[in-house]
Amino acid sequence: MNNTYFILRHGETTHQTKKERIVYPWPESSPILLNEKGKKQIKDAAEKLKAEKIDLIFSSDFPRTRQTAEIVAEKLRKNVIFDRRLREFNVGVFRGKEAKQYYNYFSSPKQRFWKTPPKGENFRNCQKRMFDFLKEVDKKHKNKKILIVSHGDPLWLLEGKVKQWKEDELLKQKFQNKSIKMGEIRKLV
């Protein structure tokens, strides 16, 4: 890689604090926004990022990531480049449904890597679009510090690709709750 990359998952939202397990909308028909705790998480993250001297900020265009990126950009005095490839994982026909309907579509967690829900994507598809984005940015820029603002699953899959984790290791990271948390910054490479 020609650059140094940091990833940041959007801050907490009211949607994610609800106890019901509803599969998120995609693309968002009704905006999911940061709650007060989420805004504070991102302001704290922005303070930490000041020391890194970030050159460029790329973000998903969904409202919660847009809010996140704009809070950071204001603190760092940078512009944000929005890119649709950084969007949330697309669950297709399961948008807005109870999560158990989505999970019951698969015979095992590993099947989510290759079995694609109608009008959606599988984990391999999502990982490819995220990594294609990273490769394109890496070709265009040299010796920059770049922040990528996105969502939990896409960032988890991107981190796994960069670190060359096999699918079993990726699932282990996810089920042991080691994937990126809301408002968390990680150095990717």
Closest by alpha carbon to 8, among 152, 142, 161? 152
Whether 141 contacts 57, CB under 8 Å: no
Rounded Cα distance between 11 and 14, Å, is 10
Per-residue pLDDT at 24: 63
- Domain assignments of the chain as residue spans, ordered by start: 4-187
Q: Residue 37: CA atoms inside 13 Å, Cβ hemisphere, count?
A: 8
| The pair of three-digit structure tokens given for residue 82, joined into one six-digit string | 């929005």
Query: Nearest-CA neighbor of 75 among 187, 189, 188, 185?
Result: 185
Arch. (CATH architecture) of 4-187: 3-Layer(aba) Sandwich (3.40)
| Single pTM value for the model | 0.95
Q: What is the pLDDT of residues 8-50, one digit of tens each?
A: 999 999 777 665 556 665 555 678 899 999 999 999 999 999 9
For the segment 133-151, what is each residue's pLDDT rounded down to a tens digit?
A: 999 999 999 999 999 999 9
Whether 86 contacts 60, CB under 8 Å: yes
Beta strand ranges found along the chain (DSSP E) = 4-9, 56-59, 80-82, 145-150, 185-187
